[in-house]
Amino acid sequence: MAFIDEANFFVKAGDGGNGCVSFRREKYVPRGGPNGGDGGRGGSVIIECSTRLQSLIDFRYRSHFKAKRGTHGMGKDMHGRKGNDCLMTVPVGSIIKDSETGEVLADLCNAGDRFVAARGGKGGLGNRHFASGTNRTPRIATKGTEGEERWLRIELKLLADVGLVGLPNAGKSTLLSRLSAANPKVASYPFTTLEPQLGVLHLQHKESCIIADIPGLIEGAHEGVGLGSTFLRHIERTRILLHILDASSEQAMDDFLVVEKELQSYKEELLLKTRLLVLNKIDIVSPETVQQLRTEFSELGIETLPIAGLTGEGIDSIKLWIADVLEQLEDLNSVQPDTNAEDRQQLAVSENSNEGE
């Protein structure tokens, strides 16, 4: 199945139903008066994020989402029914933008978060609202208002605990297959990974974590060279970055600097994440070469861990390191307040107030 991480789509909320002009007509009630009911409110288009989805593949087959309109009011003070809402489900980590202006309208980071993409129109008023002492037989009613409609853009930033970055053919896919049950394409040529791959790392006595393998970065990736600019955003929300470096390369230090430069050029905040430099392919180089690389990076204050993805050497050490770092980050987050709680509460209050209109 193809991986889709951005799409344009159209939303149209339901129009409000029209108010009714009606008068009470019953035997022995010669002057029953107006009894036209109000029109129902149109349904809204609501976007909800769910952990069940990992891609925007559904937007390839459907790009228009419309809610039902409210029904018209009727006589005998019968109000029209509210139109059914259109509920859209998107993956966690989706960003909703205005297609024309590019303005960010919603950032859905938690399962269950909701965003009203288009609000339904209000129902019209029946003629009973216009009765007065001077006009006891009003023959007017208002029409329902039109529901909102607009083009939106959705972009997906994967929510993963660990992100794998590095030059093409550094061994990221091999490492992912070692750390999880994922089965990415592995070959001896560059750019075998053309889209982000996810895997689940099962940790002993701890919760599992998600690993994202990002397609290989090359020089100029942040400007659109190669595949970098398309998928670099998927590492923005990772908690840990594993920089995979080919230890067998004759210019290992230059390779390291290329990736570091691309991360900094794309977004400097990426360099502030907890990171580990993984020296891969140590099974095809001498121990002296590995030790020399570790010494050079140690002098720069960079932590390294040698592994051989093909043979599995050092994989257990990576798992232990990831588990320890995640535990430290969770302890740190437990001390900090939830900054999104207030925003979610305001959104819930806003939705409740709109339903009561």
pLDDT tens for the 357 residues of the chain, in order: 455 778 899 999 999 999 999 998 888 877 788 999 999 999 999 999 998 887 788 888 899 999 999 999 999 999 999 999 999 999 888 999 999 998 999 999 888 999 999 999 999 999 999 998 888 889 999 999 999 999 999 988 877 788 888 888 888 888 888 888 766 555 554 445 556 777 888 877 777 888 888 775 655 544 444 454 556 777 777 888 899 999 988 888 988 988 888 888 878 888 888 888 999 999 988 999 999 999 999 998 898 999 998 888 999 998 888 888 888 887 776 665 544 444 544 544 444 445 444
Residue 356 within a domain: no
Instruction: Residue 304: give the domain boundaries.
Output: 162-335
Domain containing residue 299: CATH number = 3.40.50.300
CB hemisphere CA count around 342 (13 angstroms):
2
What backbone phi and psi angles, to 5 degrees, belong to 317? -65, -40
Does one domain contain both 179 and 140? no
Does one domain contain both 169 and 294? yes
Does one domain contain both 189 and 59? no
Residue 189 within a domain: yes
Q: How many angstroms separate the CA atoms of 293 and 165, rounded? A: 19
Residue 130 within a domain: yes
Does one domain contain both 140 and 174? no
CB-count burial class (<10 Å; 0-12, 13-18, 19+) for 131: middle
The domain boundary residue, chosen from 97, 122, 156: 156
Domain containing residue 122: CATH number = 2.70.210.12
Does one domain contain both 226 and 193? yes
Inter-residue contact 226 to 216 (CB < 8 Å): yes
Does one domain contain both 146 and 187? no
Q: What angle do CA 290, 295, 301 make, to 5 degrees?
A: 125
Residue 350 within a domain: no
Residue 346 within a domain: no
Residue 293 within a domain: yes
pTM listed for this prediction: 0.69
Does one domain contain both 321 and 172? yes
Of 158, 168, 293, nearest in space to 239 by CA: 158
